[in-house]
With several copies, the nearest count.
Chain A
Amino acid sequence: MDKKPVPLEFEQPLELLAQQIDALEKQLADHPELDRDIERLQKQYDQLRRSLYSKLRAIDHLAIARHPQRPYTRDYFQRWDACWIELHGDRKGADDPALVCGLLHMGAMRVVAVGTQKGRSLRDKQQCNFGMPQPEGYRKALRLFHHAEKFRLPVVTLIDTPGAYPGMTAEEHNQAEAIAVNLLELSGLTVPVIAVVTGEGGSGGALAIGVANRILMLEHSVYSVISPEGCASILWRSADKVSEACQAMKMTAREIMQLGIVDGVIDEPLGGAHHDYDVAAENAKRAIIQQLEELSKHSAEEIRRDRQNKFRRIGAFAEA
């Protein structure tokens, strides 16, 4: 991360304080007496910063999860294994840049890594469909899942997508089937699967690489059945109810952990992962390796049953 983090809307008060401090510091040379004020403001700043991030609303988490400077899949892969090997293509006519697949080392382990990629530059974003995979992307991932099964390699997936691409050819190439088959095949793998929601976990398009033995979420990442915008427009019939939708759907890492679906929340640098890619990558790596080491004690059949039981248990209902 070369550029300084761009402040989000809810971070404005913090930004103002920072500017005041800068201003005073410029005059410090001529007016040494200012340094007590600066000290005072600095304290205020630190307090405000801590308090601000300690009581974020769901929509604030969403803003951080969608921050344009948010680290993406390639940023993590690169930091985990500088000479990771990317593998391309579904072998049947397409190589979807929105779904990055490769072989990489994580500490002492070798894993098959799969993740959605939003794209940084505009051209990049367009190629990646802003992180919305095509059916061909999910089929490339499926090919790698089978590769992992064949060579007894654990699978690590990184989830950061608004959802599967809703396009005409995507439908014609059976987006629904591509997702469904991945759900089915992932549930049958006998090697460990770890899924990490690094940004947005958007609906079926996220779950298609998310049927894992352990699901982790970054502190400010979100995971939901439908985009808050979609939810607001359908249930509230109004676009400006997004904040309400975020809250109602319980989409933040902590809430989803409480619902018993997520197995761990990964700390982010204060203010969000975009403040320090290396720390974010390191935290994620440590959490993943820990889970993998735990799972590596189990037999192939236990690994599979563990994953199937995990999802078998999910659901809230009563027998009236």
Chain B
Amino acid sequence: MDLKEWFASRQKRNETHLVKQPLTTEEYCALWTQCFQCRELLYTRDLRNNLHVCPKCQYHFRIGALQRIEQLTDPDTFEEIDPDLVSTDPLGFFDTDSYPNRQAEATRKSGLKEAIITGLCKIDSLKAALGVMDFGHFGGSMGSVVGEKVTRLTERAQEKKLPLILVSSSGGARMQEGILSLMQLAKTSSALKTFADEGLLYISILSEPTYGGVTASFAMLGDIIIAEPGARIGFAGRRVIEQTIKQKLPVDFQTAEYLMKNGQVDLVVERQALKETVARLIRFHQPPSPAPAFVERKDRKTVTTAKKS
């Protein structure tokens, strides 16, 4: 479903919560959510109003791309690009089921066409290019479409000289597209290289969970890298590592805080402060006018590039 439909349906859900009458199980479950961490039973609407962060223990619930976009962008400013890009089945991949069937299933579950939504938006009135992955769709796996959408978004941001913000949440590359998925790591990184050479800002936001090919490409290439509290982030999965080194790993291994301690992320930012932090970072990196003389050289560079395109 597209954004408008989603906001509409979301509206409907809220209304059902207001209806005063005996609840069906679904309605009950829709109404109440238990915190995975502190086990507290939370009123779903309060949870949503708290950006899906447990008011008791600050546990950050995994959220979908649409919620994330709603949280990060100014109302009605998000314009999706490439909404209709869909995977094909280049390998005719079949394990216990065919890739097309699995795609259909994923879309049924997530209501999304693919594991990322990209578009242009405003964040605290600042124009930006925003891509948000959704773990709920196909485990947020990166196939040709995710790679292409990230690349196109990067190119769009470069062309419009906008800051680029990518919110990652992924299990890694999509096996069903084989080597084509792997090559998306190179494609996206290559686009980011050209983007970086223009002196433009890229903020990478890592959310629960970010692993494999996504971490090993655009997610780790931000000028600034922000992680959400408690998010698990890594290249290899915990189980694989434990099998390899034949020993148990610390409980906080690969958490945002653990990465911070190991110098892998710039900031760990709570969801409530995320939008404001991103806005401040964008604002900080926007060249003032008039720019000091030593910025001149970069301006010239930018001009020649503009001529090129």
Contacts and interface: CB of A to CB of B under 8 A. Distances in A.
Interface stretch (A11-19, A29-37, A88-96): A88-96
B197 A188 contact: yes
Contact of A168 (B91, B224, B249): B249
Given A151-B285, A167-B241, A314-B187, A192 B294 contact: yes
Q: Dominant SS at the A interface?
A: mixed
A171 B85 CA distance: 34
Contacts of A180: 185, 189, 215-221
Nearest to B189: A183
Nearest to B215: A176
Nearest to B148: A315
A150 B196 contact: yes
Contact of A103 (B145, B178, B184, B284): B284
A259 B225 CA distance: 34
A116 interface: no
B180 A259 contact: yes
Contacts of A89: 260, 262-266
A147 B249 CA distance: 34
Contact of B266 (A87, A105, A110, A181): A87
A85 B280 contact: yes
A320 B187 CA distance: 22
A183 B217 contact: yes
B177 A316 contact: yes
Interface residues of A, number: 91
Contacts of B86: 317-320
A226 interface: yes
A95 B180 contact: no
B292 A296 contact: yes
Given A251-B178, A251-B179, A315-B180, A90 B263 contact: yes
B296 A91 contact: no
Contact of B220 (A88, A174, A300, A317): A174
A207 B185 contact: yes
B244 interface: yes
B213 interface: yes
A152 B198 CA distance: 12
A219 B91 CA distance: 20
B260 to A, nearest CB: 6
Contacts of A312: 151, 187, 190-191
A123 interface: no
Nearest to B221: A180
Contact of B297 (A188, A210, A299): A299
Nearest to A172: B262
A87 B91 CA distance: 41
B9 to A, nearest CB: 22
B167 interface: no
A190 to B, nearest CB: 6
A156 B199 CA distance: 20
Given A204-B185, A248-B95, A164 B178 contact: no
B118 to A, nearest CB: 13
Interface string A278-320: 0000000000000000011111111100011001101111111
A214 to B, nearest CB: 14
Please list the 3 inter-chain residue pairs (A to B) with the smallest Cβ-Cβ separation, ordered nearest first. A89-B263, A166-B236, A296-B292
23 contacts: A85-B281, A86-B267, A90-B263, A93-B263, A93-B264, A103-B281, A152-B291, A166-B236, A166-B237, A166-B244, A168-B253, A171-B234, A183-B185, A204-B216, A211-B186, A225-B179, A251-B179, A259-B180, A296-B294, A299-B294, A300-B297, A316-B87, A319-B86
Given A180-B216, A297-B293, 8 more contacts: A147-B223, A150-B196, A168-B245, A183-B189, A204-B173, A225-B181, A234-B175, A301-B297
Interface of B: 82, 84-88, 90-91, 93-96, 113, 144-145, 147-148, 151, 173-175, 177-187, 189-194, 196-197, 199, 201, 212-213, 215-221, 223-225, 234-237, 240-241, 244-245, 247, 249, 253-254, 260-267, 277, 280-281, 284-285, 287-288, 291-298
